[in-house]
Structure 1
Amino acid sequence: MTPGSNLPLNAVRVAVDVTAPVRLDVSGLLLAANGKVRSDDDFVFYNQPSGPGVTHSAAAGGDTITVDTAAVPEGIEKIVVTASPDAPGATFAGTEPTGTVRNADDGSVIASFTPPQLGPETALVVVEIYRRGGVWKVRAVGQGYANGLAGIATDFGVSVAEPAAPAAAPQAPAAPPAPPAPPAPAGQWGPPAGTAAPVAPPPAAAAPAPAAPAPGSGKVNLDKGRVSLQKNQTVSLVKGGRPLLTSVTMGLGWEPAFRGKSIDLDASVIAYGPDRKKVDNCFFGKLMILGGAIQHSGDNLTGEGAGDDEAITVHLGGVPQEVSGLVFVVNSFSGQKFSDVAKAYCRLVDAQSGEELVRFDLTHAEPRTGVMMAKLIRQFSGEWEMTALGEFVDARTVRGMVKPAAQAL
């Protein structure tokens, strides 16, 4: 298989063997429609070798994640299989892991995948087993993380627990802010095998409430025309089976404060690499970044007038590979709170045709000075996905948005 390719599974029970010249820690995470684990039970690894329909086993040649698709709960849409070098701080440079998907009953090989061009990555999503239209499939992923298993944990809603011996576990990034809907319960990520004993999962009584069901059935694309998003919903920028790689404009708009004549809001975009480190940001003081791949329309000091107040154009095909995520933010430089702003929204428009592709209306506000409106994330397959955020923070300039926006990726 090649990165991004997929094929249907011809077996009910499948085993994913992950092998490499070095010892790897292999895990499986069961993800709901929102792309997050539901609870501690959805994280399957060496210290918790079984979960709903998924098991972990270790052998001298490598670890195996076995998926019984008939036993996977209805609310689970995919199982991602991850790997990380067992040696603390080790990267995949010079190491070629291979994921082999087999029929778990007769041992026959269904597919194999060796991610190409690995280097500084310290953790990797190898493959994912997912259901689409009632059919189970396997997709080759090969997405690397430079911040270890903690990076994968953060992406999939697992909270990273601090072990008793700090040197034994990777440093974890700050946990992302919880969404307003009841969050997916967090699991515990223990230290690699052979190091300090992992932290025990929290008692059942302390588990958060189950996540609210995600609206709709999974991600949507642009095939049926304009998409209207609600908070935390995602749309894949794919039309007719092909990724949208043309120029798009993120238009951001608002109306003046209810009791004021003007309001100075500033729209910006922050570009991040796979390690969630800021690459650059585009705002009224820096109207072009990344060699012209992203351009800002300029500052609007009042919010008055029809149409978008500020716009940021992104030439998707020209965004350098070092950039994997874009977060669009709005700040109140004048210090007015968003609770005094009317009808804030963002919309993604085809820059050539002017056709509105995606729209997100901010239906509630908080008395704070900054809001993360939306994010665009580049998938390993090359396509981009847009997710509505609507998360408020206290920050009057784009500089104050860099850290919270990184956590939102």
Structure 2
Amino acid sequence: MGMLKGANIRIPAQVVRIEVGWRTGPGVPDVDASALLLAAGKVRSDADFVFYNQPSHASGAVRHEGKRPAGDGVTDTLTVDLRAVEGAVGSIVLAASADGGSFGRVPGLHIRVLDAGGGAELARFDSRDATVETAFVLGELYRRQGEWKFRAVGQGYDSGLAGLATDYGITVDEPRQAPVPPPRAAAPSAPAPAPAAPRAAASSPTVPSRGVPAPATPAAASRPAPPAKVTLTKDAPTVSLAKQGGTSGAMRVNLNWQMLRPVATGWGRRLSQAMAASTSLDLDLGALFELSDGSKGVVQALGNSFGSLRQPPYIHLDGDDRTGAVESGENLTINLDHINAFRRILVFVTIYEGARSFAGLNATVTLQPQRGAAIDFALDECTVQSNVCALALITNNGGDLVVQREARYLVPDRGVSPQRALDQAYGWGLRWTPGRK
């Protein structure tokens, strides 16, 4: 069945075949499928990356089977045995990279999930808005309440497989140039010994043959330390993205949570117990946006308003998660290549079902630019009966986006929706109608 970006569907099969397909022809880049096994949104090590030069995961759960031509089409196939996926792995990202060009030159790009036993198609997502991207997250298999689901993602990277891999925690070796020798002050009185001829590198099955960086080995030479993480607090609530190096590429906004143990007494204890016992706690990440041209709107799962990265509002909601800590949480992506298009963005979270308040919630918000330092902050414990929280306000200050920690819990008036309460508190001025997802 065909799916829209952001949609999800239950996967009833125990073993599935993942087919990344496209139409070939003159000038069409080659495409390679890959998979990343994630625990809490990141790989545990480079071994969790399965691609053509590392074709099998140690658990046996994911295998890269290779390509098969059929007429003017080609498919690159992965097999996933969902029964063998380790318990720590909450999701499997299904990606593709283009060799020799961008995905804007790859016609008919799609991903299919098939029952490996009978061959029936369980899900299909067609990518139709690719332009300059050289790597794509096409979909994701993820756990939900004891079963597996597939989500259509459609998130692109213009930095290739290396950019995609590092975004999920893979360490990638960058090519190093030989240092330029300093100029000589004077000619030596005797000829210096000739430098030894460089030793030929030993062949290794883990070195890709198509120009794609391989996962780094422990023996790799040391690299400059990555930028330090920035933690926002009540005393230091703001940070400039430009000063941290986050001026372009994609910025992922992630919300992860876990339930705290019930407090000793009172309504907070009863509410926390009810939330912990609930099997349908559903938190929804979203964003109010105002663009430089004056247009305003909302990106959220409610009403299937998932947004877009390639066109206004340049904000996209990846999907809908109900567990927070076990899987990758809720993710929102902002395209920093269009900084000048933004006037302000308010990132928020609401409780869709399963609880009446955030009391008993332990959550962390992380903003991870594709380039630059990660920014994170914790949500203070909720002390009011609130079902909507303003997380962060991002404003354009002369071409620099400034992130301000809000962590503000709101209590809507009777009959007022959480989104409308948020709108009123921040003066957005939208018109709201009932919606569902």
TM-score, normalised with respect to structure 2 = 0.47
Structure having the higher Rg: 2
